[in-house]
Chains A and B, each alone.
Chain A
């Protein structure tokens, strides 16, 4: 039996339009990736994202761990 993982998700800038809340706590199956998590948040899987997990930039295939904090931004840049 796969145990559920709890992860924190924070949404920023234009990604906020996909959810009523900016901060979410989401339970997902062990072995889930960022892509799997997106389907639970209402964010389209093909939405271009800058994904930060626990202060590191990551890709959509990254597997999630218990207690991870995910920050989801649109693809941004600037200076």
Chain B
């Protein structure tokens, strides 16, 4: 199973599409690792710098409809190549979400209210998230502030995460 704990990167925008996550011109790469330097290269967010802001981050927190646009699986791969296995958002594009779990990664939806609160409380401080997978909860910590949030994922998605993705799941089961 992959790790889902670490420092959070806040992307305060709706509709971040897969072209922003990984531009189409890198789809000709032949390994997942080769995508690493290009994650969020064309990100449309004021003040964002993909070289600087991604450092040491392993979780993304964002808003509505993350991963919309083309269904390319290069989007989760580019995240994974950068050690980011968990995206928390108020909603996801359907195929992106499937691709995440198929890769043994997690795309977790929280209500817009909870996302709003997390943004208002944590987005300006260095935030550490601890994921308690068995308990389906996150603990967010920034300095003295600490908060626990529960999440829900389907049974199948849980099994995929535990197996390490669809390839591993299928290989052990069929």
A, B: real partners = no
